A and B are shown apart, each in its own frame.
Chain A
C-alpha cells in the first residue's frame, strides 16, 4: 500500500450564513491521482484555498507529509510542499518566462544580484524533464504567451522545488484536445515520480480518464469516495446533483429559410476570405483551437476589431459595422468570453448592467425613466432566474453564475436578430449549463440566429445545427449535424482537409 502524503480529517469551514465545507475527510497517497468533483458551490475551491493557506479552517486538521498544516499561511503551505496550479495563472506581462517562473524567489549571487545563469539553466532542465522543451521560449515576455504557455509557466512554478502535493484547478478550461493530452501525460509522469496529485474539474470524461480515485462533494459535504475504475460518469453525476441528468441536450430542428447573417469574403488582420451564413432559428457552432481566430471573428463582426475586406449583411441588408454601437444598431448582440473583464460593470447595479446596451432605445430625448428601465429589465431577470435581492444590487456582490446570467440578460433585452456567444458555458457548473442550453434552444425556437463559439466538443455536437471549424484564420465548409463527429471536427481544427 502506498503511504499517505496528504490527510484531511474532519475539515469544516463556514462563512457567515453558509457552511461551505463540513466533515470532509480524505487521503491522498504518494503516486496517486485523486479527482475532486462537485457542482459550483460544492466546496471544491474552498478546500483548495484551505490547503493553499488562503483560508483558515474552522475545524479539523490537515497533515501534509505528516506535519500539521491546518492553520498554514500561503507561504507555509508552499514551503511545506503543497502547490496549486490555478485556473487563471497570474503572469507578469513585461518579464521573461524564466523570471515569471522564479518570481519572488530569484536565485541570487550574493549582494542581491539575480543569478540569471542559474535561473535559465534550472528552467531549461525543468522544460526538458517535463517534456515542454521547444514549446515555450524562456526569454519570451509574459504578455506574448498563449493560454497554454501560461499554463506551462504556472505548472513549472509549482514544480521547480520541493513539491509534494500538486493540485490542478480546472486546468483544461482553456486548453485544446492535444494540449489536454499532453497535460495528462505530464500528470501521469508526476504520479510516477511519487507526488500526490489532486485534479479538480467539471469535465467528467477527463476525470474518468486521468484519476484513480474520485471524491464527490455536494453542498460542502462529501457524498462519495470511489475508485474511478469501479464507477461510471452516471453514478458520479448522481452523487453530485442527487438526480440523474439526461445525457446531452436534445434539440429539435428550428432552422428557417430566412438568412439573418451573411458574411462574404471577410478579411481582417486575423482572417482571410471568410464566407458563411446563419439563418433564423439556427445555431451555428464555431470550433477550433485556441488562437484559430474565433473570438477575433466575433469581435470583427461586432465592430470591435477592424474589417479590412468583404461584406457583412443582416437580413439581406449590407451593414457597414465600424463600432459596437453600429453592431447593436444592426441588431447584433455579443456576450464575450471574459465576462468580468469585458462584460460586467461590477460596481454598478443589476438594472444598469442589464439595460446599458439599450439606454438609447429606452430614453426619450436622452432622459431615462426608472419605471421604463424596470419594465424593460425585470422580465429577463425573472426568465433567467437571476438570484438578486433587488435590481439595485451591485453586480459585484452577486455570485459568479448569476453574474453570467446578467450579461446574457443584457443581450436578450436588446432583442438582437443575431446573438454571438463566446464560450457561453465556460466555468459554469452542470446545472447552469443545462439552463443555458435550454435558453439557447428557446431563443432559436423564437427565430434568433445564434453564433456559438465553443471549445467543448460535446456541447458543439449537441447544440449546433451546423459546425464551422476555424483554423489559422480560415474556415472549413460547414459540417452538418448529421455528419458531425468528434474526430471530423478535430481533424478540421488541425487543418486537415480545410475547404
Chain B
C-alpha cells in the first residue's frame, strides 16, 4: 500500500523552484493578487488625479485605515474561529459616546480611552455569552446586538445627541502625527496605533498557543475540543478582543470628530471589516485567514474609497461597489475551497481506488 499512496503526486512539489515561485509561496498567492490589485488601482487613480499622491491625501488614507483596520484585526480572529461579529460598528458607537462623556465630564483622557476599550470588552463578552451559553448562532447573535448596542449608544448619549468634546490631547489620537520633521509630513498617530496592534496580532496568531488554537477551532471545532481546546473560553477571549479593538476604533472616531458619535462615523464599519477579512483570504467556514492579508485588504479598500471620492463618484455608487466587493471576496474564497476539494477528490480517487 505504501507504493500506492506514493502514486498520488503531492501538490506543492513543483513549487520549490525559482525566486518568483519562492516569493509567491512566502507571501501567499492570495496576498500577491491583492498586492497586484493595489498597484493597478493606485496607477489608475494616480493617472486621473495628481492630488492622490499629495501628503494630505496620503495622511487621510492612513487615518481612515486606522478605524476599519483595528476592527478588521479583531474580525480576523472572529472569522478564523468560524464566527462572525456584526455588532462591531455598534460597539464602536457605544465606545465613542462613553469616551466622549468621560473626557468631557470627568476630564480624563486616559480614563476616556480606558472606558472606551472597557465597554468594548464588556459588550464583546455579552456577544460571547449569547453565542456560547445561550447557543445562538454567531450571525444571529451579533445581528441582534448590532441593533441593541446601537440603541444603547443613543441611550448613553444625553438626549441621543452627539457629545461634543474639545480636548487637544484626545484630538492628537485622531489627527496628530509622529515624526513631523522638516518637509516630511509625518505619520498619523492613529495609523501607528493600528500598525502596532496589527504586528502584535500577527505575532499572536502565528506563534502563540492561543493563536494556533483559534485556527484549530475554526477548522474543526469537534476535533479541537477533543484535542483539549476549551471552545467556550476561546470564544470569550476572541469576542472580547474583537470588542476591545472596536472600542479603540470608537475612541479614535471620537478623537477625529471631537465628539462622541452614537451613529455617525461608526455605521457600516462591520461591512467594511468583514469585506476586508474575506478579501484578505479568510474562509467563511473558518480555519483560514491572516492578519497580513486582512491588513492588505484594508489598505486596498481605503485606497478604493479614497480614489472614488477623489474622482467624484457619488456615495450611492460607492455603496453598491462595497456590496459587490463583499460578494466577490466570499465568492473567490468559495471558488478556492471548491478547487481544493476537487484536488482532494482526485487524490482520494487516485490514492484509494
**Binding-face segment, A117-125, A183-191, A262-270, A395-403:** A395-403
Q: Is the CB of B219 within 8 A of A432?
A: no
Q: Is the CB of A366 within 8 A of B208?
A: yes
Q: Is the CB of B224 within 8 A of A345?
A: yes
Q: Is B314 an interface position by the 8 A CB rule?
A: no
**Which of the four size classes fits the interface of chain B?**
35 or more
In the complex, besides A342-B223, A397-B10, 11 extra interface pairs with C-beta distance below 8 angstroms are A18-B350, A345-B215, A345-B219, A345-B220, A346-B344, A359-B212, A366-B209, A366-B210, A396-B344, A399-B347, A430-B1
Q: How far is the CA of A398 from the CA of B352 in the complex (A)?
A: 11
A18 and B8 in contact, given A40-B352, A347-B219, A347-B287 (Cβ under 8 angstroms): yes
- Least Cβ–Cβ distance between A214 and chain B, in angstroms: 16
Chain B residue at minimum C-beta to C-beta distance from A359: B209
**Binding-face segment, B30-38, B227-235, B266-274:** B227-235
Q: Chain B residues near A346 (CB, 8 Å)?
A: 219-220, 344
A360 and B12 in contact, given A40-B1, A345-B287, A410-B227 (Cβ under 8 angstroms): no
Q: Is A135 an interface position by the 8 A CB rule?
A: no
Q: Is B17 an interface position by the 8 A CB rule?
A: no
Q: Chain B residues near A327 (CB, 8 Å)?
A: 228
Q: Is B351 an interface position by the 8 A CB rule?
A: yes
Q: Is A393 an interface position by the 8 A CB rule?
A: yes
Q: Chain A residues near B226 (CB, 8 Å)?
A: 302, 304, 324, 334, 336, 342-343
Q: Is the CB of B208 within 8 A of A399?
A: no
Q: Chain A residues near B8 (CB, 8 Å)?
A: 18, 387, 399
**Binding-face segment, A41-49, A73-81, A465-473:** A41-49
A400 and B212 in contact, given A342-B222, A387-B10 (Cβ under 8 angstroms): no
Interface size on A, residues (CB 8 A): 67
Q: Chain A residues near B344 (CB, 8 Å)?
A: 346, 396-397
Which 3 pairs between the two chains have the least Cβ-Cβ distance? A431-B1, A399-B351, A41-B4
Chain B residue at minimum C-beta to C-beta distance from A357: B227
- Least Cβ–Cβ distance between A435 and chain B, in angstroms: 8
Q: Is the CB of A431 within 8 A of B223?
A: no
- Least Cβ–Cβ distance between A241 and chain B, in angstroms: 8
Out of B4, B209, B223, B230, name the residue touching A40 (CB < 8 Å): B4
A-B contact pairs, 6 of them (CB 8 A): A16-B9, A45-B348, A341-B220, A345-B224, A360-B209, A385-B2
Q: Is A429 an interface position by the 8 A CB rule?
A: yes
- Least Cβ–Cβ distance between B28 and chain A, in angstroms: 12
Interface residues of A in 3-17 (CB under 8 A from B): 15-17
Q: Is B105 an interface position by the 8 A CB rule?
A: no
Q: How far is the CA of A219 from the CA of B4 in the complex (A)?
A: 7
Out of A42, A304, A369, A401, name the residue touching B207 (CB < 8 Å): A369
Chain B residue at minimum C-beta to C-beta distance from A392: B12
Chain A residue at minimum C-beta to C-beta distance from B25: A392
Q: Is A67 an interface position by the 8 A CB rule?
A: no
Binary per-residue interface labels of chain B (1-39) against chain A in the complex, 1 for a CB within 8 Å, 0 otherwise: 111111111111100000000000000000000000000
Interface residues of B in 305-353 (CB under 8 A from A): 340, 343-344, 346-353
Q: Is B56 an interface position by the 8 A CB rule?
A: no
Interface residues of A in 100-143 (CB under 8 A from B): none
- Least Cβ–Cβ distance between A236 and chain B, in angstroms: 16
Q: Chain B residues near A431 (CB, 8 Å)?
A: 1-2
Q: Chain B residues near A347 (CB, 8 Å)?
A: 219, 283, 285, 287-288, 340
Interface residues of B in 271-301 (CB under 8 A from A): 283, 285, 287-288
Q: Is the CB of B9 within 8 A of A348?
A: no
Q: Is A367 an interface position by the 8 A CB rule?
A: yes
Q: Is B90 an interface position by the 8 A CB rule?
A: no
Q: Is the CB of A343 within 8 A of B5?
A: no
Q: How far is the CA of A336 from the CA of B347 in the complex (A)?
A: 23
Chain A interface residues (CB < 8 Å from chain B): 15-18, 20, 38-46, 49, 55, 217, 219-220, 302, 304, 323-325, 327-329, 334, 336, 341-348, 352, 356-357, 359-360, 363, 366-370, 385, 387-390, 393-394, 396-402, 410, 429-432
Q: Chain B residues near A334 (CB, 8 Å)?
A: 226
Q: Is the CB of A18 within 8 A of B223?
A: no
Q: Is the CB of A352 within 8 A of B228?
A: no
Q: Chain B residues near A400 (CB, 8 Å)?
A: 348, 351-352
Q: How far is the CA of A18 from the CA of B353 in the complex (A)?
A: 11
- Least Cβ–Cβ distance between A215 and chain B, in angstroms: 13
Out of A16, A17, A323, A401, name the residue touching B5 (CB < 8 Å): A401
Chain A residue at minimum C-beta to C-beta distance from B232: A323
Q: Chain A residues near B283 (CB, 8 Å)?
A: 347
Q: How far is the CA of A402 from the CA of B212 in the complex (A)?
A: 22
A40 and B228 in contact, given A343-B223, A345-B219, A352-B212 (Cβ under 8 angstroms): no
Q: Is the CB of A20 within 8 A of B212?
A: no
Q: Is the CB of A41 within 8 A of B7?
A: yes
- Least Cβ–Cβ distance between A157 and chain B, in angstroms: 22
Out of A45, A324, A388, A396, name the residue touching B228 (CB < 8 Å): A324
Out of A217, A342, A385, A398, name the residue touching B353 (CB < 8 Å): A217
Q: Is B142 an interface position by the 8 A CB rule?
A: no
Q: Is the CB of B353 within 8 A of A367?
A: no
Q: Chain B residues near A17 (CB, 8 Å)?
A: 7, 9, 350
Q: Is the CB of B219 within 8 A of A41?
A: no
Chain B residue at minimum C-beta to C-beta distance from A390: B12
A324 and B219 in contact, given A219-B4, A390-B12 (Cβ under 8 angstroms): no
Q: Is the CB of A348 within 8 A of B215?
A: yes
Q: Is the CB of B288 within 8 A of A367?
A: no
- Least Cβ–Cβ distance between A377 and chain B, in angstroms: 13
